[in-house]
Amino acid sequence: MKTCLKIDKDCGKVLIVHGSADESTAVEDAFEFAKIIPNHKLHIIQGADHCYTSHQAELDATVVDFIKESLQQDKPYLQLARYSMPTN
């Protein structure tokens, strides 16, 4: 939990992925993290253990989808930044 508190409030989007069958870290912790971390997306992988054994495909898809969504949402800002940069 202490690690969560170190996340900068202006860090941008955060993806929290947790397995419902994780015996190393309780799934309830993911819900507590979500209460603390602003601008987050929480995804619980049903039946996944701590290493996501037998759930790699869902983990991969979740991460890739999050990155795609983030890039799509930030696209206008990226374009604005590109056009506002001084040219030599």
Going along the chain from its start, the domains and CATH numbers come out as: 2-84 (3.40.50.1820)
Q: How far is CA 53 from CA 8, 14, 41, 85, 87, in A?
A: 31, 23, 22, 46, 50
Give the pTM: 0.74
Q: Which amino acid is at 38?
A: P
3-state SS assignment for residue 32 = helix
Which residues make Cβ contacts (< 8 Å) with residue 58, sequence separation at least 6?
Answer: 45, 48, 52
3-state SS assignment for residue 25 = coil
pLDDT digits (tens, 9 = 90+) for 31-88: 988 888 888 899 999 999 999 999 999 999 999 999 998 888 765 554 554 454 444 4
